Homo-oligomer: A and B are copies of this chain.
Amino acid sequence: MKEKISKREAIFYSHKMAQLSKALWKAIEKDWQEWTKPFQLNINEHHILWIAYHLKGASISEISKFGVMHVSTAFNFSKKLEKRGLLQFSKRENDKRNTYIELTDDGNELLEATLSEYNPEDNSVLRGSLPMTEMYGKLPEFLDLSALIKEIYGEEYMEILERSLENIEDEATVQEEPTDLENFKNQPKSS
């Protein structure tokens, strides 16, 4: 099948995607910052700890790819976390070329503390998803968005995402307390 997309349609589409995507990311970024600030972690630092936690250790290159951050950003923030005793660097026997990081006990503890402090009621994306959740009977799946990211970033990105999501399902840290989302539906929006 031959696609004929006019330049106007292309600009229209990419303008819309830019606006929606920037708005979504800025909302997520803001929530994330507020969530991890009490732990003296910025988003990059928390993201590094989170990836290393879920993957049970990761190379700097995996952190960079999956965290969608530059290799030097991944490396420099990992160094800062090492100084705080939250992770350690190592080489692996079967892969001498790459630098790996692994959380220390303190790092594990801190990451788990952030997870247990996570409050769904502070999350504007979760809050904004409620009307769709009511309509669908479950949280929306964003299949188009997942398909698009898979196209842009490749299979591997989605595999790491799925591995990290499976780990969340297995974790003992996060208790199965149902959150009564009705209670905060009528509170003023944070934005």
Residues of A in contact with B (beta carbons under 8 Å apart): 1-28, 31-32, 50, 66-68, 115, 118, 120, 123-134, 139-142, 144-149, 151-154, 157, 161, 164-165, 168-169, 171, 174-182, 189, 191
CA of A24 to CA of B189 in the docked complex: distance in angstroms? 24
The reply to whether A134 and B178 contact each other, CB–CB distance below 8 Å, is no
The reply to whether A146 and B20 contact each other, CB–CB distance below 8 Å, is yes
CA of A174 to CA of B76 in the docked complex: distance in angstroms? 44
The reply to whether A126 and B178 contact each other, CB–CB distance below 8 Å, is no
Closest CB-CB distance, A158 to chain B, in whole Å? 10
The reply to whether B124 and A152 contact each other, CB–CB distance below 8 Å, is yes
Task: Give the interface SS of chain A, mostly helix, strand, loop or mixed.
Answer: helix
Closest CB-CB distance, A185 to chain B, in whole Å? 8
For residue A144, which residues in chain B have a CB less than 8 angstroms away from its CB?
A: 132, 140-142, 144-145
Task: Using A22-B25, A129-B151, A140-B148 as known contacts, list a sample of 19 further A-B pairs with CB atoms less than 8 Å apart, ordered by residue number in A.
Answer: A2-B180, A2-B182, A3-B134, A5-B126, A5-B181, A6-B178, A10-B118, A10-B123, A14-B31, A14-B126, A21-B21, A21-B28, A23-B68, A24-B148, A24-B149, A128-B148, A130-B151, A131-B147, A142-B145
For residue A7, which residues in chain B have a CB less than 8 angstroms away from its CB?
A: 118, 120, 174-177, 179
Choose among B118, B139, B146 the residue that contacts A5 (Cβ–Cβ < 8 A).
B139
The reply to whether B4 and A142 contact each other, CB–CB distance below 8 Å, is no
The reply to whether B5 and A133 contact each other, CB–CB distance below 8 Å, is yes
Among residues of B, the one whose C-beta sits closest to the C-beta of A17 is B125
Closest CB-CB distance, A149 to chain B, in whole Å? 5
Interface centre among A11, A115, A142, by most chain B C-beta atoms within 10 angstroms, is: A11
Closest CB-CB distance, A170 to chain B, in whole Å? 10
The reply to whether B129 and A148 contact each other, CB–CB distance below 8 Å, is yes
